[in-house]
Amino acid sequence: MFAGRISAAVQPASDEEKLRVTAEVYRIFEAKCADCHGSHLPKPKGKFGYVLDLLRVAKNPKFIEPGDPKESELFQMVKNNEMPGEDADVPPLTPEEKKLVERWVLIGAPGDLPSTLPAGHPPATAQKPEAVPAPFFKRLLGWFGKFHPLSTHFPVALLLTAVLAELFAWWMRRSEWTLFVRFLVVLGALSSIPTATLGWLANFPTVGGSQLAIIYRFHQILGTTTAMWAVVCAVLICSAECEEGSLERRRFRGALLLGAALVAITGFLGGALAAGGLDHYKF
């Protein structure tokens, strides 16, 4: 939200309607969102574990702008079927449920719940629909994607060690170190290909449009770019002798240093995904 922006006018509603709509929205969130963002979870997705605390949700300007559904990210996510996410075991909200959430925002996103639901107003999602299992092939690919974090350590270690070995090769000017650098870069490039592939198969749980979702997308793109650049480095060092002092060696060294920077940035974003935000190095 932009500072100083004029808030939209909250639509008037009777106390009875506020209680009824709030109760309906609570039941919707309980059925469709609590499995991923409930307070009972040890690690709620996106560090958003209070979806059923409607007062707290409404007070968070990142999620709700009372009276303005267009500026309320939470409503936009459910409207565009970004939440529940693709990995959730429940279907998206129905059109009727979306209208209830929109109405809740329009009347100011109240958080007070009635002790019991008013008669004649059954919960919008009293029965949790049975989840339709994903096709076997899709579940198999998603299972392979779970090995992405494990697979990253090997190419990262090889490529960063190659930078250190290249420093020794430049300092000592020994052919043995040059051959060692070639071995590290080629092996690192080859292992980075399956690692990047597994990264695209991984289904990291994020809230659509949230900071983690943006980090996840950049991590995927940079990870793929890093793997491709590692292959470029391998081609450079294998296509010529790359003797110390030669133009080819300087080109390779520059490419290797750029690759190391890509590895570092991609790793930083991966750590942010695991820790739930960009402040994971905060002292």
Structure confidence by residue, pLDDT tens digits, 101-155:
999 999 988 888 776 544 444 444 444 444 556 688 888 888 898 899 899 999 9
Gap between the Cα atoms of 241 and 166, Å rounded: 15
Burial 139-166 (b: 16+ CB within 10 A, else e): eebeeebeebbebbeebbebbbebbebb
Amino acid (one-letter) located at 23:
A
Give CA 43 to chain center in angstroms.
14
Which residues lie below 8 Å from residue 216, measured CB to CB, with a gap of 6+? 204, 206, 273
* CB-CB contact of 81 with 209 (8 Å): no
Which residues lie below 8 Å from residue 129, measured CB to CB, with a gap of 6+? 90, 91
Gap between the Cα atoms of 236 and 166, Å rounded: 14
pLDDT of amino acid 83: 81
pLDDT tens for each residue of 41-98? 777 777 777 888 888 888 888 889 888 888 888 888 888 888 887 767 788 888 898 8
pLDDT of amino acid 122: 44
Gap between the Cα atoms of 179 and 281, Å rounded: 36
More confident residue, 37 or 223: 223
SS3 assignment, position 255: helix
- Residue 6 banded pLDDT, cuts 50, 70, 90: very low
Q: In the chain, which residue ranges form alpha helices assigned H by DSSP?
A: 15-32, 34-37, 54-59, 73-79, 95-106, 136-145, 148-172, 175-201, 211-239, 247-275
Calculate mean pLDDT across residues 152-164: 94
pLDDT of amino acid 181: 92
Which residues lie below 8 Å from residue 258, measured CB to CB, with a gap of 6+? 229
pLDDT of amino acid 160: 94
pLDDT tens for each residue of 269-280? 988 888 777 887
Gap between the Cα atoms of 16 and 242, Å rounded: 79
pLDDT tops 50 at residue 2: no
Q: Rg of the chain over CA atoms, in angstroms? A: 26
pLDDT of amino acid 133: 65
pLDDT tens for each residue of 180-219? 999 999 999 999 999 999 999 987 665 445 677 788 889 9
